[in-house]
């Protein structure tokens, strides 16, 4: 029983780890060659999935990938709420570095993971309207001032500057 669970889980995790780690790195904004925080999030999410594997692999269980992704995103959101209620200015890096945690979450779920507005809203506990607004704002922020940000590093008030 335990061995079968481990085998099934390892097959799943080997396939999902790459995509989940990429999503985690987009969330944490770490450089691709040094991703300790994203790895920690991934391990936590995957281990939780392992612990619930028997329920997940049942007929009416949640999809294991969805479960792991939900755990990853919610864990990141929880940490973000604790660590940077005000965005940590200089430390934010990576592609989505100029955005706040919530905007990063919405972009990762809507664009990278391709979730519908409704599912995104349900996952992070926002209204669909709010998801739409945050997504539009984040997309606008990514397209416009991000290019300028590259030339002028430092804690620029991307979020605050936008309309």
Partner 1 sequence: MRGADRKRAEVLRMMLDPVRPDVPADIVRRATERGARLLRRRRAARRVIWTLLIVALIMFGVWASAAHPWSVPPTETTPPLEDW
CA distance from start to end of the chain: 56
Q: Which of 38, 41, 106, 115 binds partner 1 (CB under 8 A)?
A: 38
Minimum distance from CB of 77 to partner 1 (Å)? 18
- Please report whether residue 107 would count as binding partner 1 according to CB under 8 A: yes
Shortest Å, Cβ 24 to partner 1: 8
Distance CA 141, CA 161 (A): 9
User: Which residue, 42 or 80, is less far from partner 1 as judged by CB?
Assistant: 42
6 binds partner 1 (CB under 8 A): yes
Q: How many degrees, rounded to 5, is the angle at CA 112 between CA 71 and CA 10? A: 50
* Position 59 contacts partner 1 (CB under 8 A): no
Contact between 134 and partner 1 by CB under 8 A: the answer reads no
Closest CB to partner 1 among residues 85, 141? 141
Note every long-range contact of 77-81, with CB atoms under 8 Å and residues 24 or more positions apart, other chains counting. Answer: 77/101, 77/102, 77/105, 77/124, 79/41
Question: Which of residues 58, 60, 90, 143 is near partner 1 by CB under 8 A?
Answer: 143
Residue closer to partner 1 (CB basis): 19 or 83: 19
Residue count of the chain, please give it. 163
Q: Which residues make up the interface to partner 1 (CB under 8 A)?
A: 2, 6, 9-10, 13-14, 17-18, 21-22, 25-26, 32-33, 35, 38-39, 42-44, 46-51, 53, 94-96, 107-108, 110-112, 136, 138-140, 142-143, 146
């Amino acid at each position: 029983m335990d061995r079968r669970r481990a085998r099934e889980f390892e097959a799943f995790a080997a396939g999902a780890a790459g995509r989940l780690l990429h999503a985690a790195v987009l969330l944490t904004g770490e450089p691709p060659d040094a991703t300790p925080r994203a790895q920690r999030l991934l391990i936590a999410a995957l281990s939780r999935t392992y612990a619930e594997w028997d329920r997940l692999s049942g007929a009416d269980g949640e999809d294991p990938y969805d479960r792991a992704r939900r755990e990853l995103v919610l864990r990141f959101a929880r940490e973000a709420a604790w660590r940077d209620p005000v965005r940590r200015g200089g430390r934010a890096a990576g592609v989505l570095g100029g955005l706040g945690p919530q905007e990063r979450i919405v972009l990762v779920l809507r664009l990278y993971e391709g979730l519908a507005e409704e599912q995104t809203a349900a996952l992070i506990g926002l209204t669909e309207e709010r998801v739409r607004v945050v997504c539009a704002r984040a997309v606008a922020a990514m397209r416009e001032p991000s290019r300028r940000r590259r030339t002028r590093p430092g804690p620029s008030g991307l979020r605050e500057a936008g309309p």
